Structure 1
Amino acid sequence: SQSDMNQPVGTCVKLFLKKDAKEYCEGSRIRNLVKKYSDHIQIPIKISEKEGEVEQVNSAQALWTQSPTKISKEEYKEFYNSSFGAFDDPFITIHNKSEGTVEFTNLLFVPTNAPFDLHEPERKSKINLYINRVFITNDLQEIVPSWLRFLKGILDTSSLDLNVSREMVQSSPILKKISKSLTKRVLSELKKKQKKDPDAYDAFWSQFGKVIKEGLYEDFENRDKIAEIIRVYSNKDEKLISLQDYIDNFADGQNQIFYFTGDTLAQAKSSPHLEGFKAKGIDVLLMVDPIDAFWISQMNIFQEKSFVSISRDKYDIDTVGTSKTKRKKSKPKNSDVCIALIKDCLEDKVENAIASTTLIDSPVRLVAGEGGLDFNLERILKAQNPEFETSKKVLEVNVGHDLIQKLPELSLDLQKALCRVLFEQARIQDGEMPSSTQQFSQDIIQLGLEL
């Protein structure tokens, strides 16, 4: 009929609100809800508060649905800043559309600056999940792994149903597939950036490196790929390098990755553990973040090259590198006597005392005993649990050192005092406190007065 033809096309939905829901009649409340949940749907949403006045309250467009070739760098930045309250520029923008059994579009941003709460356990990534442009949640833990919690962005998919609960979405196998895909894309883009602009990547690494290295410990599936993008400090080059850079610059005869963990870079660089390696031109990676002691205990190999701790593992560098220091091939005099004296003086303070093959300038160093843990890992575990018992160490002795050669000439009291000081000195150089500060002070004074 003619009257039916004059009716507007569509569906009229009337909502009847309870008395305690009057706030939903307020224009500002409606605008905020539309902006949050339906700002990007294609259909315009309009509100009329006064007779004859109609206002569209949603943008009715979604940047991520456009082709990346048609979006400028400035438009990406504006969207990043406005959508996520960010004040920096995106370090990397990742905009892709995937089609197939699982369809989704992602617009992800890797920030330039780290948020203040990056290292808080409850920190989550700020990735907004949309289903067909309708906002669902920004509180899903499974979109990306926790070591990528600095990511911000949009995930829009048509492969999930709108009418399912958030709990069902979180446990969805579809979301798990999407998560794997996103993680691989981020790793790929970070690897490209590392190769293309190492200086910019080093600046990024200073902000986010500690968090990314959590993935080496937690994420077994992606561990090898994560290892390709980490930066480590080269003692030889005195700068950050990649693990691949280290392997590419192996010394002659080298087939292992040598590393040393310490509390600080300054402490690690001055460690006696490095002396033999410096003398032969062999690079050692210095690792001073607490997470390093954990991930490297889980990841024993990279590119078929094993990691070797120079303070814990057994190794032989006689045939590696080129010696820059002439070492005496003959056995120093009184070597066996000196070792025996040190064992007797230190008694049960050490597991054993042996002659060193790597020390050049320092008289002694401590290395892990049989089955011992990494020194830094022991300190961290001890700090977390005061009842944790650290293992006894082996004292390596530079038997050709002048102090060691003096031992047999001293009185028994001075022998004991010198051995205790040498032992405590080795502890201090490894970042430990003396076993007994009082005894250490007394021994220093006694040696100063009588030697």
Structure 2
Amino acid sequence: KRGTLITLHINKDSDEFLDSFRLRSIITKYSNYIPFPIFLKDLDKKEKEEKINEGDPLWLKDKKDIKKEDYKQFYNNISLNFDDPLKTIHYNAEGVINYKALLYLPTNQPMDLFNSDRKNKIKLYVQKVFITDECNEIIPNWLRFIPGVIDSQDISLNISREMLQNNPVITKIKKGITTKILNEFTTFANKENNKYLSFWKNFGAVIKEGLYELNEYHEKILSLVRFENSLDSTFISLNDYEKKMIKNQKEIYYFANTDKEHIKNSPQLEVFLDKKIPVLFMTDAVDEFWLQNVKYKKFDFKSITKGKVDLSKFGDEKKGKNKDKNKKLNSNINDLINVLKNELKDKISDVILSERLTKSPVLLLADESGMDINMEKLMKMHNQKTPTSKKILEINSDHPMIIKISENLKKINHKKAANLLLDQANILDGNTLSNPSEYIENLTELFIN
């Protein structure tokens, strides 16, 4: 017979490589797609030899020759997911760098999607020979949910994992597949909006991590993001938001809070709903981090729970001026403000008349130079040593309770009334009271008086 016979002698401490199951796993992992058949025969068991490797990789076939079932089977094999792929991205890249890619968009969220140690599921091949499935540099971490295969002819077969980390070919492949994936997302969003929204709800929080990183894809990602909005509770793009902006609006208003139900019922929204000013609901923890460094076109993002929001230029300007004048002339309200400032000086930074409350009596705001309310909550949830910052207490001078308290300051206990209003503001902000019994006591006494 023609050819070469190679005999390997195995050390006693390496007899695991004589196990048929171990050999089978090594062959299918590293040499499953080489163009030569590999047979395995267990001489001890006197079994017939069995062909182990497949030999013909799916990603090298012409797309028109591949059945939908074949794509699905391959997806399930490499991703270990049990769902059907939502989209298949199969293409050849030719030019300065040549490679073939077969990538998938999952339908469902993997259970370990947000695990801190989760790696991507991209398998790297060189000329059909498996190299590694631990190449973190081949796709951004914010696309880690996309499984697939990359096969390049421009990487050496004997490249080490260390060399992969700073390899210029890998860097160019990463740029190429990232651009391709984002373009596919854009086409998906434009042509199949409802299906895209389902996809976004599953994976949007991960994709937005790309806005927190310093990279060249911010503009592309911003065109893909979707948020629920205050006007009609539908999910909209930033381009849709721009169309909903009212006259003279120069900022994109948002409300960040991971409690979706709290957002919809919060007093923070009252004036925005009254004036029909759209507010985006930022309900993913990652939102607080990328919002600080990103603009959309010429628009800054403005939190409605932090600092002063000037809404005087919206709505009935004459009515607004008269209302402000009446507030300034009300001496009882001014006396109440002074009482609150004095009694709560160790707990809050300031007390001001609210321009955003239309129904509720009070609310809390973060100082313009401080940490946003939601960010502070997130930091504390993750056991970060974050000191509690003093908030601004806003009061609604048109609310009957505020008016009644201001008119009866001589009859009530100032300290108890002040703490009562602060507790109410905390409740409306979704905070747990440190001393609920004291709140009930103060409330009861105020009712009696």
Counterpart residue number, 2:39: 46
Counterpart residue number, 2:95: 100
Counterpart residue number, 1:162: 157
Query: Alignment partner for residue 310 of structure 1, among 304, 308, 311?
Result: 304
Query: Alignment partner for residue 353 of structure 2, among 339, 352, 355?
Result: 355
Counterpart residue number, 2:234: 239
Counterpart residue number, 1:377: 375
CA distance in 2: counterparts of 1:101 and 1:282, whole angstroms: 50
Conserved 8 A contact 1:338-1:399 = no
CA distance in 2: counterparts of 1:155 and 1:29, whole angstroms: 25
> How far is the alpha carbon of 1:15 from its aligned partner?
2.6
CA distance in 1: counterparts of 2:334 and 2:47, whole angstroms: 103
Query: Alignment partner for residue 32 of structure 1, among 16, 20, 25?
Result: 25
Q: What SS does the aligned partner of 1:276 have?
A: helix
CA distance in 2: counterparts of 1:238 and 1:275, whole angstroms: 15
1:191-270 alignment, distance < 5 Å: 191-270=186-265
For residues 377-419 of structure 1, the C-alpha deviation after alignment (integer angstroms, 9 at most, x for no partner) is 1112233446421221112221122222221323353443333
* Distance of aligned partners of 1:28 and 1:311 in 2 relative to their CA distance in 1, 3 Å threshold: closer
Q: Which runs of 5+ in 2 are unaligned?
A: none
Counterpart residue number, 1:441: 440
For residues 126-176 of structure 1, the C-alpha deviation after alignment (integer angstroms, 9 at most, x for no partner) is 111101000111112111122212111101111110112122123312112
For residues 15-61 of structure 1, the C-alpha deviation after alignment (integer angstroms, 9 at most, x for no partner) is 33334444544554433322221111222233455799654322210
> How far is the alpha carbon of 1:199 from its aligned partner?
1.8
Conserved 8 A contact 1:281-1:321 = no
- Provide the aligned length of Structure 1 versus Structure 2: 441
Percent of aligned pairs with the same amino acid: 38
Structure 1, 62-71 or 413-422: larger mean CA deviation? 413-422
1:64-75 alignment, distance < 5 Å: 64-75=59-70
> How far is the alpha carbon of 1:328 from its aligned partner?
5.9
CA distance in 2: counterparts of 1:262 and 1:140, whole angstroms: 35
CA distance in 1: counterparts of 2:433 and 2:27, whole angstroms: 65
Normalised to the residue count of structure 1, the TM-score between the two structures is 0.90
Conserved 8 A contact 1:131-1:157 = yes
Conserved 8 A contact 1:47-1:54 = yes
CA distance in 2: counterparts of 1:83 and 1:400, whole angstroms: 63
What is the aligned-residue RMSD (CA, Å)?
A: 2.5
Counterpart residue number, 1:4: none
Conserved 8 A contact 1:418-1:447 = yes
Counterpart residue number, 1:3: none
For residues 288-318 of structure 1, the C-alpha deviation after alignment (integer angstroms, 9 at most, x for no partner) is 222222221232x112211001111433222
Q: What SS does the aligned partner of 2:356 have?
A: coil
Q: What SS does the aligned partner of 2:365 have?
A: strand
Counterpart residue number, 1:428: 427
Q: What SS does the aligned partner of 2:326 have?
A: coil
CA distance in 1: counterparts of 2:49 and 2:199, whole angstroms: 47
For residues 419-441 of structure 1, the C-alpha deviation after alignment (integer angstroms, 9 at most, x for no partner) is 32122111221122235434322
* Distance of aligned partners of 1:280 and 1:13 in 2 relative to their CA distance in 1, 3 Å threshold: same
CA distance in 2: counterparts of 1:236 and 1:395, whole angstroms: 26
Q: Does 1:18 align with 2:17?
A: no
* 1:317 partner letter: L
Conserved 8 A contact 2:255-2:279 = yes
* 2:175 partner letter: K
CA distance in 2: counterparts of 1:178 and 1:446, whole angstroms: 70
* Distance of aligned partners of 1:400 and 1:415 in 2 relative to their CA distance in 1, 3 Å threshold: farther
Counterpart residue number, 2:412: 413
CA distance in 1: counterparts of 2:384 and 2:18, whole angstroms: 60
* 1:204 partner letter: F
Structure 1, 133-142 or 326-335: larger mean CA deviation? 326-335
Q: Which runs of 5+ in 1 are unaligned?
A: 1-6
Conserved 8 A contact 1:132-1:156 = yes
Conserved 8 A contact 1:263-1:431 = no
Conserved 8 A contact 1:254-1:321 = no
